[in-house]
Chain A
């Protein structure tokens, strides 16, 4: 996935959000990226996930949610969303999911469509 993302850099869809260390392991942080609100999570295995930061149910802050390997739970009403796809497992509308990874210098790179 990362090679493909890099090839895409010229298309201007890639954004550098700064060091991975900004996000504690197991938590999420929100970023404003090109007018979008994106929540980036750092899983306990070190990998990253990125989804839209606002819960479609009642506008809850997704980056404040509790995560495990597969889902994030919105802190307001406990709606859960798959971190890979953004799909809700509890019947809410979906979040958008974004390709995200860390580059060689441990910077977070996210691609917006």
Chain B
């Protein structure tokens, strides 16, 4: 045969290397070979691989992404054909091995070839289990047209092309485990209506208990997938092609296709035929050797080790490493003692992690459970003798890295068990990364440890994409990418070079903020177009950079800034907040949240006159008029005759207050007065992101000052505490205490100095809740309170300049800045879509 001839042609006559034959070119077979090559095995071995499928080897885990169309089939190959060539591996793709002659040391394949071996690795994997269902096969013994297994690239391609035919409207997936749910979700993306028929009492019963299964079912049903549990398929209806399925104890379901995802069975035929020991799968010892066979190894889903058969990818990596240690002699003491399996994946868009026991087994087992079905969140941890012996996480897997490690290693657990489920002011995720052990697995798909990533980074590879390429971490299901990034950042000690553009202040100008500001000042660039012309590559404008540059220039030049309206976001062009239907919301200023009957009357009249669809109180104690068409804005402002309340731009917005000592029995300071003064002083000041402030009259904090960008609290003895970096939005953070001062004037001074420092140093769109922890509260105290760097006067002066340059933008109502400034951009749109209540 040609391949034999070519191989003997390639081998030099004096080639004394051992002949290593691998049956199976899937994830296990290829991984075993990679591990062998990594141990210098190519010097000792001439490698030949047989693969049943006519391809190089690919990542089977990614097939669900191919099905859903997120990934191209070409994108999931792990090793290209070049890899086989470069490593001098003879690949027989599309060739099946039928029999092994253990005595003659030959493998026989279905192309009539007899291939001699010195060392043999069996990595035949598994195949889809086809349950005994009537009508599954045609009389000729093939699957009925419209029935698919979900195991190979060809299965997946077949499903996609079948599902994409217009008249295929409905599919039934048999099996509500991992694979079945992935198949269901994938089919939906082709516009197919899907039912899942599951014989278990709840979904994913191999990985979780009934309560978790119920929450998962709710999430899956919310996606529009119908779920039938405790339900067995008894027949496929149709005859010539699929027309429906028959269920036991339930009405038939009409459908055009059926996907069978009812589990897998190890491929053991070749081993059985060849007389190797097989129970549920091929038996192997702790060296991955088949018992009584010195030179035959087996690895992956086709093996049974100490009674266990694994259907997950992580054990396979561990097995392949031990096998390679023995085949190459790199470590004759290496042993495989079985895997504690933890799965962490996204199933049909839902984060799922599960490890060990699903539920308590002994009376003394502790069970910590949190369930929030409406959000699709379920967390359950089983604890025995203060060690985690099982956990299930659904919908929120942020704690999974720690839990997996605690489960793997039996770490001591915190007294307060609830902190196993949630971050309760404990170390943040980055600290969590620092605490992980070196051999903790970061990427469960590709079995990459924290140590492996750290070593790669320390070896000089300091970009995230470089580390991912080098270690393959994050290249499986991708759910660990965030963790991989955190480990890279930790290992690089902040020197991650991921993407040079990540350090740029705006994407279109290749300079960080400090360098950009220096260049702007040096060259006297006072407009956004001048910055592009002078500093952008090729002088090219960049729409994504305009708003950030406009904000920066206004901060730097105050009254000397040359305002180009096209550099502004539409909100800043028309001084109102664009809404989802293209209308705007108008929020008049109410300093410190204080209003008057006269103002209220005027607002009510305006709302009537312009048919304002919704009048709403904002979180910042203002009144929001929603659904105002753009062309009405000047008239609305004129009739309100109040200044802008700044509910739109990246700028200082509001100061929320309580009534403080004026009325409140507990008030210790005049919070309302101070709030109004602060708001008057800093109104409209541009900043890298919005700034929300509050002043509370006593430590009861009715104005929520502790979770504001700048929050002020009156404390007993006439003193004031200033907090910075708080947040209660997408992110929740209690502000850090900047200073406690004796009088309101000092509050205003330090708040202004902090804001100016933030304006000058923060990245574009970086809120104070990121900025403050980044630069550190001690540093801020030193610069702002103690003036340790002598910047105080300069910061105060720069802020004063911006304060002096303030003009109420709503004054433009009578004198539009540009032609058609308030002209509608949706000329034919009639009704606002903002709901009217």
Contacts and interface: CB of A to CB of B under 8 A. Distances in A.
B566 A25 contact: yes
A73 B544 contact: yes
Nearest to B529: A44
B247 interface: no
A22 B582 contact: no
A37 B513 CA distance: 40
Given A59-B582, A66-B547, A23 B820 contact: yes
Given A26-B565, A27-B566, A62 B544 contact: no
A94 interface: no
Contact of B825 (A30, A35, A78): A30
A23 B819 contact: yes
Contact of A58 (B566, B580, B826): B580
A68 B542 contact: yes
Contact of A68 (B543, B571, B823, B825): B543
B567 interface: yes
Contacts of B819: 21-24
A81 B570 CA distance: 17
Interface in A61-111: 61-69, 71-73, 75-76, 78, 80
B581 interface: yes
Interface in B783-837: 818-821, 823-828
A26 B825 CA distance: 15
Nearest to B584: A64
A68 B546 CA distance: 9
B540 interface: yes
Contacts of B630: 64
Interface centre among A21, A24, A25 (most CB of B within 10 A): A24
A31 to B, nearest CB: 7
A75 B826 contact: no
Contacts of A76: 578, 580, 582
A61 B582 contact: yes
Contacts of B820: 22-24, 29
A78 B115 CA distance: 60
A69 B540 CA distance: 8
Contacts of B571: 75
B564 interface: yes
B407 to A, nearest CB: 39
B541 interface: yes
Contact of B826 (A21, A37, A69, A73): A37
B529 to A, nearest CB: 6
B569 A62 contact: no
Contacts of A72: 543
A75 B569 contact: yes
A59 to B, nearest CB: 7
Given A24-B818, A29-B820, A59-B582, A64 B827 contact: no
B582 A24 contact: no
Interface string B571-602: 10100001011100000000000000000000
A60 interface: yes
A69 B541 CA distance: 7
Interface residues of A, number: 37
A66 B566 contact: yes
A110 to B, nearest CB: 14
Given A22-B819, A65-B570, A67-B566, A30 B540 contact: no
Contact of B570 (A37, A58, A75): A75
Contact of B566 (A26, A35, A71): A26
A80 B529 CA distance: 20
Looking at chain B's contact residues, the main secondary structure is loop
Contact of A64 (B529, B541, B546, B582): B582
Contacts of B564: 26
A66 B541 CA distance: 11
B581 A64 contact: no
Nearest to B564: A26
A37 B824 CA distance: 11
A94 B508 CA distance: 24
B543 A64 contact: no
Given A24-B819, A26-B567, A64 B825 contact: yes
Interface string A13-55: 0000000011111111111100101010000100000000110
Interface in B549-578: 564-567, 569-571, 573, 578
Nearest to A21: B819
A24 B568 CA distance: 13
A66 B543 contact: yes
Contacts of B543: 65-68, 71-73, 80
Contacts of A53: 825-827
Given A66-B543, A68-B541, A80-B543, A32 B566 contact: no
Contacts of B824: 30, 61
Among B529, B541, B542, B564, find the residue whose CB has the most chain A CB atoms closer than 10 A: B541
Contacts of B570: 61, 64-66, 75
Contacts of A37: 826-828
Interface in B527-545: 529, 540-544
B826 A24 contact: no
Nearest to A66: B543
B423 to A, nearest CB: 30
A54 B578 contact: no
B541 A30 contact: no
Interface in B411-430: none
Contacts of A44: 529, 541, 566
B529 A31 contact: no
Contacts of B540: 68-69
Given A23-B819, A26-B566, A44-B541, A60 B827 contact: no
A9 to B, nearest CB: 24
Contact of A66 (B546, B582, B818): B546
Nearest to B827: A32
A78 to B, nearest CB: 8
Nearest to B536: A68
Contacts of B544: 73, 78
Contacts of A22: 819-820
A39 B566 contact: no
Nearest to A45: B541
B648 to A, nearest CB: 11
A33 B819 CA distance: 19
A72 B547 CA distance: 14
- A28, A58, A68 — which one has the most chain B CB atoms within 10 A of its CB? A68
A85 B189 CA distance: 28
Contacts of B541: 44, 68-69
Given A64-B582, A66-B543, A39 B818 contact: no
Interface string B600-621: 0000000000000000000000
Contacts of A21: 819
A69 B570 CA distance: 18
A39 B825 contact: yes
Given A30-B825, A53-B826, A61-B825, A75 B580 contact: no
A37 B818 CA distance: 21
A64 B578 contact: yes
Contact of B582 (A28, A60, A80): A60
Nearest to B574: A64
Contacts of A30: 823-827
Nearest to B508: A68
Contacts of B825: 28-30, 39, 53, 61-64
B826 A66 contact: no
A23 B582 CA distance: 19
16 contacts: A21-B819, A23-B819, A23-B820, A24-B566, A24-B818, A24-B820, A29-B823, A30-B824, A54-B826, A60-B582, A61-B824, A65-B543, A66-B546, A67-B543, A71-B543, A75-B569
For the complex of A and B, list the 10 residue pairs with the smallest distance between their C-beta atoms, beginning with the closest: A26-B566, A61-B825, A63-B825, A68-B541, A24-B818, A64-B570, A32-B827, A61-B582, A68-B543, A30-B825
Given A26-B567, A61-B826, A64-B630, 9 more contacts: A21-B819, A22-B820, A24-B819, A35-B828, A37-B828, A58-B580, A64-B825, A66-B547, A75-B578
